[in-house]
Amino acid sequence: MIRRGRIAGCVLAAVAASVIAAPAPAYVPSTLDFLAGAPVVAHWDASSFPITTWVTPGLTTDITDGSDRVALDRAMAAWSGVADSGAAIFVEREQQVQANVFDGINAIEFSNSGALDGAGFVTLTFLLIAADGTIEEADMLVNDRVFGFTTSAGGSVGLDLETAMLRELGRMLGLTSSPLGGLDGDRTVLEESAVMYSVSRGVGESARSLRPDDVAGIVAMYPVAGTTRGSISGRVTRNGSAVFGAHVVAHDPVQDILVGAVTLPDGTYRIDGLPAGRYLLEALPLTAPAGPGTLGGIFLREDVDTSFQPSFFAVTVRLGAGQSASGVSVEVG
Residue numbers at the binding site for Ca ion (CB under 5 A): 62, 103, 105, 107, 139, 144, 148
Cα(57)–Cα(242) distance, integer angstroms? 51
Q: Is 149 in contact with 158 (CB distance < 8 Å)?
A: yes
Smallest gap from Cβ 147 to Ca ion, in A, equals: 5
Q: Which residue is nearest to Ca ion (CB)?
A: 144
Query: Is the Cβ of residue 192 or residue 205 nearer to Ca ion in the bound state?
Result: 205
CA angle 189, 190, 194 (to 5 degrees): 85
Which distant-in-sequence residues (6+ apart) come within 8 Å of 186 by Cβ?
A: none
Report, in Å, the least distance between residue 133 CB and Ca ion: 19
Q: Which of 227, 173, 164, 240 is nearest to 195 (CA)?
A: 164
Query: Would you say 105 or 330 has its CB closer to Ca ion?
Result: 105
Shortest CB 139 distance to Ca ion, Å: 4
Nearer to Ca ion, 111 or 231 (CB): 111
Residue 82 near residue 175, CB atoms below 8 Å: no
Rank residues 98 and 326 by Cβ distance to Ca ion and give the closer one. Answer: 98
36 CA to centre of own chain = 25
Shortest Å distance, C-beta 109 to Ca ion: 9
Q: How far is the CB of 89 from Ca ion (least distance, A)?
A: 14
Q: Which helix (H) or strand (E) holds 129?
A: strand 123-130
Measured from the CB of residue 78, what is the shortest distance to Ca ion in angstroms?
A: 23
Q: What is the dihedral of CA 61, 66, 68, 72, to 10 degrees?
A: 130
Q: d(Cα 239, Cα 144) in Å, to the nearest integer? A: 50
